[in-house]
Amino acid sequence: MAHQPVGDALTHPGPVTPGGQPGHDPGLAALPPDPSHRRDARIDVIRGFALLTIFVDHIPRNAPALLTLHNFGFSDAAEIFVLLAGYSAMVAYGGLFRRAGTKATLARIAWRCLKIYLFQAGLLLATLLIVRVWMDLTGLVPRFGVRALLDMGLLPGALRGLMLNALPNYLDILPLYILLLALFPLVYVGLRRSPWGTLALSGLIWLAANVDHRLNLPNAAAVDDGWYFNPFAWQFLFVIGAALSVAVRARGGLLPRHPILTAAALIYLVGALLQAFPWAEWGLWDLRPLAMTAPDKSRVAPLRLLHILALTSLVFASPTVLRLSSRPWLRPFDACGRNSLEIFAAGCLAALVGRILYRTFEPVWPLQIAVNLGGLALMLGLGLVLDARARQRTLR
């Protein structure tokens, strides 16, 4: 499996050849292919679906959001993305450490971190300018995203955002990926020396973040003055994803099935479905077994963690999922996953346009149809175009 992560993997080290090998990066020599593994199509297909889901979920009062993952359980696309980022980082850079050496691999990781930061900066500045112009034209005040930064003043808010000291809603996940990717060399060394010890240490840090809510990085754009995606908690999913990559590769692409664990995962997922489903919004009887608030997302509360782990265990143990992920009709989603940094950026801007249109004209059905179909078509089309260009480059 020589799959190379892209975008929200946000860990992709460069263009991908049909065999999944990294292409040319500035200052880095071409590397020999690694024939020992084939690309795992599950990663890009699932990541592609997650990207489309994030676009839909990032538009408040959006009817299609009733059909996304968070309505059917405790976790959502964010957990999928971070876990797959760890998985992809181990495949891409773990193999690179062995083949190219430490210096070349660290250089490639640094280059990727810089590229992600440049995308973050571009998205932030574009969002601030678009919202500022919209406010001037309509006189309306945004209810979302960058309002806290604009209240600081356009230039001071932009500077604090660029320093990652003020992270607005909807633009706060790329900084998390930059931090996690920068820490990946430590994760790699830890998993190489003591997999269970590394997972235990990462789990203790996650537990500390859930017990002491002050354990976070500062965020001037947040009410509670902390990153919404608390890196001390979310790093656990990243490390789990990296360890999962090692386990899956060691077992020929599939996790082992254990009847008791499989039954427990299914029972938990059914219980989470009953608890999380928006019964009232669908006009149905409320079948929730417990009166409880949704598990905290900022710190990946235990119920959310168990939910994504249950899903992951079933997906990566399923031969059917492995087989279906390579089907031609899933190619548009695979293409989005391969180019997920660019697709994520396009989805962010499309969601911003959707939020502005809903705020200006109200989310009537014709507008909702136009916004969602337009945004999804943009992302899928862009993914196919970028994928086609990457394939053409490898044939030259």
Helices (H), 101-183: 102-138, 147-151, 154-162, 174-182
Show me where the domains of the chain are located: 41-395
pLDDT tens, position by position, 155-214: 999 999 999 999 999 999 999 999 999 999 999 999 999 999 999 999 999 999 999 999
Which tokens go with 387?
């994928």
Hey, what's the torsion of the CAs at 376, 150, 220, 174, to 10 degrees?
Answer: 20
pLDDT tens-digit readout, 6-55: 333 344 444 333 333 333 343 333 344 443 445 788 999 999 999 999 99
Q: What tokens were used for 65?
A: 């959001």
Q: What is the pTM of this model?
A: 0.88
CA-to-CA distance for 137 and 47, rounded, in angstroms? 37
Structure confidence at residue 57 (pLDDT): 96
Percent of the chain predicted with pLDDT > 70: 90
Tell me, letter by letter, the H, E, C secondary structure of 182-248. Answer: HCHHHHHHHHHHCHHHHHHHHHHHHHHHHHCCCCCCCCCCCCCCCCCCCHHHHHHHHHHHHHHHHHH
The answer to whether the CB of 50 falls within 8 A of the CB of 77 is yes
Helices 41-57 and 77-89 meet at what angle, rounded to 10?
A: 150
In Å, what is the CA distance from 249 to each residue of 11, 17, 132, 244, 256? 19, 20, 49, 8, 12
Q: Is 395 exposed, middle or buried (0-12, 13-18, 19+ CB in 10 A)?
A: exposed
Give 26-38 pLDDT, tens digit per residue.
333 334 444 344 5
Per DSSP, the three-state class of 9 is strand
Residues 378, 371 contacting (CB under 8 angstroms): no
Q: Are 358 and 289 in contact (CB under 8 A)?
A: no
The pLDDT assigned to 38 comes to 59
- State how far the alpha carbon of 317 is from the alpha carbons of 43, 256, 337, 348, in Å: 14, 6, 21, 32
Whole-number pLDDT of residue 315: 96
Contact (CB, 8 A) for 209 and 232: yes
5-19, 210-224, 316-330: least confident range: 5-19
373 pLDDT exceeds 50?
A: yes
Which two structure tokens, joined as six digits, stand for 291?
């009166």
Residue 121 CA to residue 164 CA, distance in Å, equals 9
Q: What are phi and psi of 75, to 5 degrees?
A: -100, 175
Q: What is the pLDDT of residue 396?
A: 66
pLDDT digit string, tens, across residues 243-270 = 999 999 999 899 999 999 999 999 999 9
Q: Could you report how far apart the first and last alpha carbons of the chain are, in Å?
A: 24
Q: Which structure tokens are listed for 345? A: 């950026």
**Token pair 């089907």: residue:** 327
CA 376 centroid distance within chain: 17
- Residue 65 to residue 61: CA distance in whole angstroms: 8
Task: Give the residue carrying structure tokens 């989310």.
Answer: 363
* Segment 106-157, tens digit of pLDDT: 999 999 999 999 999 999 999 999 999 999 999 888 876 788 898 888 899 9
CB 306 within 8 A of CB 351: no
pLDDT of 203: 98
For the segment 61-88, the average pLDDT, to the nearest whole number, is 95
86: pLDDT strictly greater than 90: yes
- The reported pLDDT for the residue numbered 7 is 36
> From the centroid of its chain, how far is CA 92?
17
Say yes or no to pLDDT of 286 above 50: yes
